[in-house]
Amino acid sequence: MWRDFKIFIARGNIIDLAIAFVIGLAFAKVVTSLVNDILMPPIGLLLGKVDFSNLFINLSGVSYSSLAAARDAGAPVIAYGVFLNTIIEFLIIGFALFLIIRTVNRFRSIEAPPKDCPHCFSKIPAQATRCPACTSELTAEG
């Protein structure tokens, strides 16, 4: 079992996935900081000096000065300001991923579409000079 695990973990795509996961976590931290520290303070200022991360609905009936104070007291709260920040983070991350995927797809579409082998009719790269399926030599026209 240990040997199978070593073979599994040593595959290139698993290591690539782990690296992508770590980079994704770091990117999420950057976006969280962007939202909480750069975007939301000016928006809150424009809306009347509102701190979105401190917006909450207290369900206990006791008055608390801040979300942190209510949570420290163990009061049930609906922290909708934190939820709004999280939604904005999600939208920024989604837009960034959209831009990345769009760019990658643009580079992929630059490649010439595959052509059919005139002998075995299998799909082959446009630049191929020999069919990998039937090994027929291809002419410039075929």
Residues 87, 69 share a domain: yes
Q: Are residues 83 and 117 in the same domain?
A: no
- How far apart CA 51 and CA 65 sit, in angstroms, is 13
Same domain, 102 and 121: no
- Please tell me whether residues 34 and 45 are part of one structural domain: yes
pTM for the model stands at 0.55
Same domain? For 91 and 131 the reply is no
Q: Are residues 42 and 84 in the same domain?
A: yes
| Whether residue 115 is found in the same domain as residue 47 | no
Identify the CATH number of the domain in which residue 39 sits: 1.10.1200.120
Same domain, 80 and 136: no
Range of the domain at 137: 111-142
DSSP sequence for 56-91: -EESSSS--SSHHHHHHTT--EE-HHHHHHHHHHHH
| pLDDT tens over the chain, length 142 residues | 888 877 777 776 777 888 889 988 998 888 888 887 888 788 878 877 777 778 888 888 888 888 889 889 988 999 888 898 888 888 888 888 888 888 888 877 666 778 888 888 888 888 888 888 888 888 766 4
Which residues 6+ apart lie within 8 Å of 51 measured at CB?
A: 44, 81
Burial class (CB in 10 A: 0-12, 13-18, 19+), 107: exposed
Q: Are residues 17 and 67 both part of a single domain?
A: yes
44 in the same domain as 28 = yes
Q: What pLDDT is recorded for position 12?
A: 66
Give how many domains the chain has, as a whole number: 2
Q: Which 8-state DSSP code applies to residue 41?
A: H
Residues 100 and 116 in one domain: no
Shared-domain flag, residues 12 and 37: yes
